[in-house]
Each structure stands twice: as C-alpha cells, then as structure tokens.
Amino acid sequence: MTEITAHHGLFKDTNLHVDDTGGPGRPVVLVHGWPLSGEAWTEQVPALQQAGYRVVTYDRRGFGRSDKPKGVYNYDTLAEDLHALLQELDLNDVTVVGFSMGGGEVARYFSLYGAERLRSVVFASAVPPYLMQTADNPDGPLTNSAAEEMTAGLTKDEDSFYDQFTTDFFSASGVLKVTEEQRQEALALCKQTDKKAALACLEAFATTDFRADLPKVTLPALILHGDADGTVPFEGSGERTHAALPGSELHVIKGAPHGCNVSHAEEWNRTLLDFLAK
C-alpha cells in the first residue's frame, strides 16, 4: 500500500491510494469502474500475481481511499492521474486494463501521452467510444433521459440508488449472477465514494466522446465484454471499440452482466492471462 500524489488540478496535491504487489514481473495496472474502487479487483489480483505479474490497483480521485477534492473530474484530469502513477512508480512495458469508466482513462491516455510506458491495453466492459446517444452518435447506448434519471436518482438518495445500481451491475436478464455477499461488497465500495465526485464522473463517462482518441491506440488491444451487459451494452460500446481498433482482439462472455470480472471471473481471468502471454 502506498500513496501517489498527483500534482495538478485546482487542488494541486491529490493523494491517490495505490496497492502494488511489487516484484520483478511485468506490470499490469487495473483501473476500476464507477462508482467502485481498486478493491473491486479482488478476483483478478491473486490470479495475476500467481501468474508472475506485478499488479497495481488504485482508487480514482474522489473514490475509495483516495483524496476527494472539489473541482474537475474530467478525463484529462483522470488520465493525468494515471500518468502520475506510472511515473511515480516508474512503470514501463505496462498493460493497462480499464474497466467500464476506466476504459475512458485508457483511451484518453493515448491522446495525451501516446504509447509511452505501455505495452498493451484492455477495454473491459468499457464506455468508449461514446456512450451518449446524440444526433451524430445514434448508436450511443445511453439516452439523455436515462442519464438524467441516473443523476436525479443519485442526487435524491444515494443508498437507494447504489442498491439498485449494484443489482443491475451484476444482473443479466433480471437474474443476479453473483452471490448476495459479493453484491454487498460492491455496495460497500460505492458508499466510500464522494457524492460530488460520483456525479461529476457520471457526467464525464456519459458525455465524453472518445472517437478521436481510439485511432491513437496503436498497441495490442483486447476488448472483453459480457453480451448481457445492461449497464454498458456491448453493441453500443465494446463492439464499436473493436471495430475502431483494427487488429484488436475481442472476447465476448456469453450470458455475462456488466460486472463480469466477478460473475464470470474464471473465464475473464483466463482470457486476460492468454492476452498477456502473447
């Protein structure tokens, strides 16, 4: 466990909580989804560590055990936090895995920093290329009314919102695909989140257009997604990202919900490890 200080933004010193297994193995950095924290990777860290990789997770600013500053939570800021982490730990030849909202940090990183320090990337149940449905993005899976409903629900009653959100997060066709204990663990992580940060990040992942970022992803890429994802539907996100990245690999987990890294951890981990071994 350590702290990385990101020296940028309105509040210059923002401490990010980092968990680093250390060791000589090739580094894999895991970027969590909204509104969780680095602790959401409990099914992945042991498997990666056992395979010999150095595994680094961190809590996004405003979430988990990281500082929760006021101010900007856009993807330039969040990608800069990722860059600060790679620099501070002096990580090179890195595979960055971006889950859900975290896929946005991965895409934006290339626009800001190129392929510096990276070996490959994974978009897992990720929000690119552009979640919001607009006139020039008719295939965006998130309607404006649905986004407004999420914002209103979170604003009105955090506990109720997160309870329903974690249920949907791990459900496929209305059936919960994890144990209630696993859902409660995710719910506890949600409740560590600063409300203003959660709302700002909701707006960021809903409205940020990554279509200009994706062509800059020049490294090997894996798109990993559940075909029953009701939170970030595959057809409007993972499928389009795969099409935008010539040569990228695609693995679709049948019957898997958004939180497929937990519900289908064995298949998810096996797919990631196969990709890392190439």
Instruction: Report how far residue 50's alpha carbon sits from residue 245's, in angstroms, rounded to the nearest whole number.
Output: 30
Closest CA to 202 of 138, 149, 277, 278: 149
pLDDT tens per residue across span 165-212:
999 999 999 999 999 999 999 999 999 999 999 999 999 999 999 999
Q: Considering 171, 258, 263, 264, which one is annotated as catalytic? A: 258
Q: Would you call 100 a catalytic residue per the annotation?
A: yes
Omega of the bond prior to 129 within 30 degrees of 0, cis?
yes
Q: What is the pLDDT of residue 1?
A: 57
Position of tokens 């203003």? 196
Q: Of the residues 66, 229, 242, 251, which is catalytic?
A: 229
Q: How far apart are CA 84 and CA 116, in angstroms?
A: 12
CATH number of the domain enclosing 26: 3.40.50.1820
Dist CA 66 CA 77 (whole Å): 15
pLDDT digits (tens, 9 = 90+) for 210-219: 999 999 999 9
Instruction: Specify the pLDDT at position 174.
Output: 96
Instruction: Say what percent of the chain tops pLDDT 90.
Output: 92
Cα distances (angstroms) measured from residue 249 to each of 2, 107, 236, 242: 33, 16, 17, 7
Task: Summarize pLDDT for 127-157 with one digit per residue, the tens.
Answer: 999 999 999 999 999 999 999 999 999 999 9
In 3D space, the residue among 200, 269, 191, 256 whose CA is nearest the CA of residue 227 turns out to be 256
Name which of 67, 65, 77 is nearest 104 in CA terms: 77
Confidence of residue 11 (pLDDT cuts 50, 70, 90): very low
How buried is 159 (Cβ within 10 angstroms: 0-12 exposed, 13-18 middle, 19+ buried)?
A: exposed
Supply the range of the domain harboring residue 145: 2-276
Q: Going by C-beta distance under 8 Å and a sequence separation of 6 or more, which residues neighbour residue 77? A: 8, 9, 61
Residue of 100, 171, 237, 248 marked active site: 100
> For position 10, what pLDDT does the model report?
44
Report CA Rg, the chain.
17
Q: Is the pTM of this model over 0.85?
A: yes
Our answer to whether residue 32 is catalytic in this structure is: no
pLDDT digits (tens, 9 = 90+) for 47-88: 999 999 999 999 999 999 999 998 889 999 999 999 999 999
Asked if 88 and 4 count as a contact pair (C-beta separation under 8 A), the reply is yes
**Average model confidence (pLDDT) across the chain:** 95
Euclidean distance between CA atoms 264 and 9, whole angstroms: 37
Report CA torsion sign: 268, 90, 204, 72. Answer: positive
Number of domains in the chain: 1
What pLDDT was estimated at residue 50? 97
Q: What is the pLDDT of residues 78-125, one digit of tens each?
A: 999 999 999 999 999 999 999 999 999 999 999 999 998 999 999 999
Whether 242 is catalytic is no
